[in-house]
Homo-oligomer: A and B are copies of this chain.
Amino acid sequence: MKAIAVTGVHFTYDDGTEALSGVDFHVSEGEFVAVLGSNGSGKTTLIGLLVGLLKAKSGRIAIGGQEIGSLSAEELYKRVGLVFQNPNDQLFAATVEEDVAFGPRNLNLPEEEVQARVTEVLTAVAALPLRGRAIHHLSFGEQKRVSLAGVLAMRPAVLILDEPTAGLDPAGEAQMMQLLKKLNREERMTVILATHSVDMLPLFANRIYVLDRGRVLQQGPSEEIFCHQEMIVRAKLRLPYVSRLMYEMKRHDGVPIDGLPLTIGEARAQLLELIPKEMILPGIEEIGP
């Protein structure tokens, strides 16, 4: 079943900027899909269309098999949840608990159910101890996680995130991506994220859409996408650093490398095959952890 099906969508802002021109975008249930594109390529616009904040000029958008226009607001927000790039946009209540409970209360759930959901989602994002805290006393990373919790509390089938790791330090970035991976693998939640950072993606995304000036340049599994160096450069992106190294060695130095390793693990495995055994220091195994 398609969780999201976007076909031939065009979108133009009031001032005449054509932000999307003929975009096709399909996501199956349980997938982890990344929308990769440079600044201004139309990622946020596409997301706005998916959650019904913007209306497409032409083209079709279906969520869970139903036309977006035919869904009531309530049905729509139970199907898709959006985590904004800037947590300040989304955290409007005074405390963490009130903010997370905002969605469930709007669904008119009984209070015990609301409280249960708050506990559950705060646990899921590792923010339970923050429950009674004021939003304006949270650090940036904490705000990001709490804003994710607020959306999870709506139990959306599809979770959409606009640059979830922007502004986070490496530790926070890794934590956020692990969290999303867990939601995807364990809770079978469909995850769509928009980003322009390439290094973390191959580890997480099943499939990548490359967006450039309102068009989908290419889509496919990450191994495929990053094979097309010129396309990547055209989209004002770059290869992950590790792939870049392997690409240069393969292309310029003629080192025989299969495909293009995207992660440190893959690169390491390939390189070890190339380096003769006798070069490797004897007994070093013991030193390693």
Contact = CB atoms under 8 A, between A and B. Distances in A.
A272 B254 CA distance: 10
A248 B236 CA distance: 30
A237 B279 CA distance: 31
Contacts of A245: 242, 245, 264, 267-268
Given A38-B169, A240-B241, A241-B199, A275 B274 contact: yes
Interface stretch (A152-160, A218-226, A280-288): A280-288
B274 A237 contact: no
Interface in A237-289: 237-238, 240-242, 244-245, 248-249, 251-256, 264, 267-268, 271-272, 274-276, 279-282, 284-285, 287-289
Contact of A255 (B174, B256, B275): B275
Most interface-central of A236, A254, A287 (chain B CB within 10 A)? A254
A139 interface: yes
Q: How many copies does the complex hold?
A: 2
Contacts of A129: none
Contact of A241 (B171, B241, B271, B275): B241
B39 A237 contact: no
Most interface-central of A38, A170, A198, A275 (chain B CB within 10 A)? A170
A182 to B, nearest CB: 20
Nearest to A232: B170
A252 B171 CA distance: 22
Interface string A37-52: 1111000000000000
A204 interface: no
Contact of A39 (B141, B253, B254, B285): B141
Closest 10 CB pairs between A and B? A254-B284, A171-B236, A38-B169, A169-B196, A241-B241, A170-B238, A252-B288, A254-B281, A254-B280, A245-B264
